[in-house]
Structure 1
């Protein structure tokens, strides 16, 4: 661990008083701008600037794809001047139903009347809503992020193409980002074999692989996020690290200082477990380890001034990262 440049005496930091269980570290409701989110942002930005009709965003489970997309749906309209962007959750149905499909879309875009009427009525209601949103925004286009898109059936892609075609008749372009797991690429291969070029051309030409923490830079940026790129409560001046280690923070304690040590610990634990796959830590497991360390060893736990290697091992063990990797290797 790197040492602090300057040591100061503990002092009254006026640590915020908040309701029990309300801190984002307790609720899990937060997102930090990692290297991978930045890469994804640039890819989406490229697609939108070039008005590509669609793209695949894929990766293994637990990488944080869903949370990253939800974060980007909130910041992208700022750059693209109110561009209508919607986050769609793809439900799993054994037998796709057109009425249910458009009902789900109406729910996720926030329409006030999603349930009444037959399939054709719901379809027209959705189209009118999207056209109106495109007109109000003056962007003349709509963006859909469809999460768990590997659940889509071929017939549902046909319904999406119908929406695309209808919007195009009114001068509104549609961009669809399919977000999901590796199966999305397998589906693309099947569509190629079946000669379904229209599906690939509309939704699957562009691809982006979403990854977890793969190297030192990724680890450093993630840890630095807890030290600097977050604040709770708002305008309090307390990052997550400072909130849980207030006195130690004044004396130079930073999670980012543990970057090299954590990389070594993860590498060592993977080697001991016999894991030979490519080094990658899904964000869910890294954040679980960090949250455990903040809560257990910070001021609300053991109130330590530093975190030892043994304690980091305990935190990583608690996250079940190694068990998850072993299961994935089966």
Structure 2
């Protein structure tokens, strides 16, 4: 994740757009969600927006604009298509002009579902923003190989090559989670409130007594990585996000009943969690085959 974060920071500095393609389960969305939060803190002078591409079973440019307005938290999403388009443009201009960097970072998730008209609209928006001194940097994330196939097909359409190449200026690479990235993720577990109804962090929810006496998941990052390495599940010292998610779920569920003071985890707690995560990953693969 840290490598991807550095790549995205470079895009921001050079005002260039990019594409992230990776297979399902590699952690595209999870990584970009964390990066979006980090960008909002480290680069407080930019606008950070996430757009989830609507289902394209019934393609509609109007649906695209409405979803765009929801992503911008615009209060008015009714009306004809030209009015929706105008609202999107004006809202982005206002947001960008009020940002210190005059920069909008726009993340388009599930981008394999975009049509050529959507890309053309984003190009027009980018041109309109530049007229008022605001840059639009777009990062498209989508599932491989579908996203790559879709981009190739769009390039073959009339006018498609230029507009696609404008946004696919950089091909981003996503590695797995190394120790530092796992520490960041577990730190989020220690600080993110969930469920919101009880105002507890993830760690506090599963280990309330141990939490009161200083237990934090971030301190478990190294034992977690060590157990994954011992099981031969690291690639270039990194773990795939889907596997890590299953391992963390198994660890929390298996050990929540041990919550007490003093809190002592069994020596095999992480190896057991890794084993359970590996089994769950195998089940998912069988279900998807």
TM-score (norm: length of structure 1): 0.69
Pairwise CA distance, 1:283: 1.4
Q: Check conservation: 2:108, 2:140, Cα contact below 8 A.
A: yes
Aligned residue for 1:51?
15
Task: Extract unaligned runs of 5+ from structure 2.
Answer: 194-200
Q: Check conservation: 1:59, 1:211, Cα contact below 8 A.
A: no
Higher alpha-carbon deviation: 198-207 or 42-51: 198-207
Q: Check conservation: 2:3, 2:175, Cα contact below 8 A.
A: no
Aligned residue for 1:199?
163
Choose the corresponding residue for 1:71, options 26, 34, 44. Answer: 34
Aligned residue for 1:322?
282
Choose the corresponding residue for 2:190, options 227, 231, 251. Answer: 231
Q: After superposition, what is the alpha-carbon deviation per residue over 1:205-227, rounded to whole angstroms, capped at 9, x for unaligned?
A: 101122334xxxx2x34554577
Alignment pair present for 1:265 and 2:231:
yes
Alignment pair present for 1:160 and 2:122:
yes
| Pair 1:324–1:188, CA change in 2 (3 A) | same
| Pair 1:312–1:168, CA change in 2 (3 A) | closer
Q: After superposition, what is the alpha-carbon deviation per residue over 1:129-168, rounded to whole angstroms, capped at 9, x for unaligned?
A: 1111111114333221000001111222122222222223
Q: Check conservation: 1:41, 1:72, Cα contact below 8 A.
A: yes
Aligned residue for 2:89?
127
Pairwise CA distance, 1:176: 1.0
Matches within 5 A, 1:89-104: 89-104=52-67
Q: How far, CA to CA, are the matches of 2:39 and 2:182 in structure 1?
A: 24
The structure where helix makes up a greater share of residues is 2
**Equivalent residue of 1:93, what SS?**
coil
Greater relative contact order (Cα 8 A, min sep 6): structure 1 or 2? 1
Alignment pair present for 1:176 and 2:113:
no
Choose the corresponding residue for 2:24, options 47, 61, 64. Answer: 61
Alignment pair present for 1:190 and 2:158:
no
Q: After superposition, what is the alpha-carbon deviation per residue over 1:192-238, rounded to whole angstroms, capped at 9, x for unaligned?
A: 4447332233211101122334xxxx2x345545776753589xxx9
Q: Check conservation: 2:61, 2:117, Cα contact below 8 A.
A: no
Structure whose CA Rg is larger: 1
Aligned residue for 1:209?
173
Aligned residue for 2:196?
none
Q: How far, CA to CA, are the matches of 1:171 and 1:256 in structure 2?
A: 46
Q: Check conservation: 2:47, 2:95, Cα contact below 8 A.
A: yes
Aligned residue for 1:291?
249
